Amino acid sequence: MRKVLVTGGTGYIGSHTAIQLANAGFEVVILDNLSNSSKGVVARIEELSKRQVDFIEGDIRDHELLRNIFSQHTFDSVIHFAGLKAVGESEEQPLRYFDNNVSGSIVLFDEMIKAGVYKLIFSSSATVYGDPGYVCYSENTPLAPINVYGRTKLMVEDILRDLKKSQPKWQIALLRYFNPVGAHESGRIGENPFGVPNNLMPFISQVAIGRRSKLMVYGNDYATPDGTGLRDYIHVEDLAAGHVAALKTLGDVNPFITLNLGTGKPYSVLEMISAFERASGIKIPYEIVGRRAGDLSEYYANADLAKEILGWQAKLGIDRMCADTWCWQKSNPEGYGID
């Protein structure tokens, strides 16, 4: 059975992907330092996939630990989710972000080479594109991130492009996610931000459950139909399926792939609020406040290449995104219970 090391596998996207990997017949080993996730996720992954999943608590920057892991397991591939992802925090603590996301990735790739593991999927982000002056981003959109977090993602992409040039046996997928939302349909796993959520969907769902009094809508004076920002929200289950498809597609015919994972259909903040109200039957109080620094008015994916190369496309729409988020939130009002 093919074995895959999933760094950051107890996190939001990693946990959903781990279940789909296990269901697709991959043996899953998770490495996570639990800096932004809970150990309890592992039991839920096992419960939902009905398969055993190995969990190692530790840091991708720990050379010795990685060497031990690679000597104890024979991996076919690595999916590298581990990273810090809060844009505002990255501006305040750049060294922490470069150390964790860039130095951590270098340690991981170095130990992969030493162990002879050359197949990798890397979690990149639409944030690598910055602000190109148009709203539909293809993979050829210039790479010019406008924040520290985005620059850490671009640096790791650059490192991987250079690694491929230096050692052609590498097989690498750079997957650029748009805005992941939603949860496993069981409501057993979902997004569990520690502290105040930075992102729209977890904030809305915490308002719905009564943990927060109202949502702040950051600006209604953008040049969009209702004045609020437009984003390409993608269901985390579709995103997870994209990883399984990428893992199966990587090989001699497709040794290096760079793909947007999005739906191609953007929604506004007000549309997301209405959809969530429909799904939950709960009114979401909100207040229009000023724009958030660094926000763009609108962007979404051209996701044609992922369809062509992977035969993958997002299937789940806005109503499922909201219904599944609400199912997770209402059955786990305090998340996994330790934040």
Q: Is 217 in the site for ligand UFG (CB under 6 A)?
A: yes
- Binding segment for ligand UFG (CB under 6 A), chosen from 9-17, 98-106, 198-206, 319-327, is 198-206
Please name the residue that has the structure tokens 């984003």.
Answer: 231
CB 20 within 8 A of CB 12: no
Can you tell me which of 26, 81, 118, 137 binds ligand NAD, judged by CB under 6 A?
81
Q: Is 229 in the site for ligand UFG (CB under 6 A)?
A: yes
Angle at which helices 200-208 and 269-280 cross, to 10° = 40
CB closer to ligand NAD out of 198 and 282? 198
The whole-angstrom separation of Cα 271 and Cα 264 is 16
User: Minimum distance between the CB of residue 24 and ligand UFG, rounded to whole angstroms?
Assistant: 26
Tell me which residue of 69, 68, 98, 72 sits closest to 84, measured CA to CA: 98
What number of other Cβ atoms are within 10 A of residue 278's Cβ? 13
Q: Is 85 in the site for ligand UFG (CB under 6 A)?
A: yes
Tell me which residue of 276, 274, 268, 257 sits closest to 299, measured CA to CA: 268
Structure tokens at 221: 């004076």
Q: Which of 12, 129, 137, 149 is catalytic?
A: 149
Residue 163 binding partner per list ligand UFG, ligand NAD, none, with a CB distance cut-off of 5 to 8 Å that depends on partner kind: none
Q: Would you call 173 helix, strand, or coil by DSSP? A: strand
Q: Would you call 149 a catalytic residue per the annotation?
A: yes
CB closer to ligand NAD out of 82 and 112? 82
Can you tell me which of 6, 10, 215, 243 binds ligand NAD, judged by CB under 6 A?
10
- Binding segment for ligand NAD (CB under 6 A), chosen from 7-15, 69-77, 159-167, 320-328, is 7-15
Angle at which helices 318-331 and 200-208 cross, to 10° = 50
Which residues are CB-neighbours of 66 under 8 A, at least 6 positions away?
A: 31, 60, 107, 108, 111
Q: Could you tell me how many residues of this chain bind ligand NAD (CB under 6 A)?
A: 28
The whole-angstrom separation of Cα 239 and Cα 182 is 10
Residue 292 binding partner per list ligand NAD, ligand UFG, none, with a CB distance cut-off of 5 to 8 Å that depends on partner kind: ligand UFG
CB closer to ligand NAD out of 32 and 157? 32
Q: Which of residues 240-299 bind ligand UFG (CB under 6 A)?
A: 269, 292, 295
- Note the residue count of the chain: 339
Q: Could you tell me how many residues of this chain bind ligand UFG (CB under 6 A)?
A: 20
Q: Is 33 in the site for ligand NAD (CB under 6 A)?
A: yes
The rounded radius of gyration (Å) of the Cα atoms in the chain is: 19
Residue number with the smallest Cβ distance to ligand UFG = 229
Burial 204-234 (b: 16+ CB within 10 A, else e): bbbbbbeebeebebbbbebebeebbbbbbbb
User: Minimum distance between the CB of residue 254 and ligand NAD, rounded to whole angstroms?
Assistant: 21
User: Minimum distance between the CB of residue 331 and ligand UFG, rounded to whole angstroms?
Assistant: 22
Q: Which residues are catalytic?
A: 149
Sites of contact with ligand UFG (CB under 6 A)? 85, 87, 125-127, 178-179, 198-200, 203, 215-218, 229, 231, 269, 292, 295
Sites of contact with ligand NAD (CB under 6 A)? 7-8, 10-14, 32-37, 59-61, 81-85, 100, 104, 123, 125, 177, 179-180
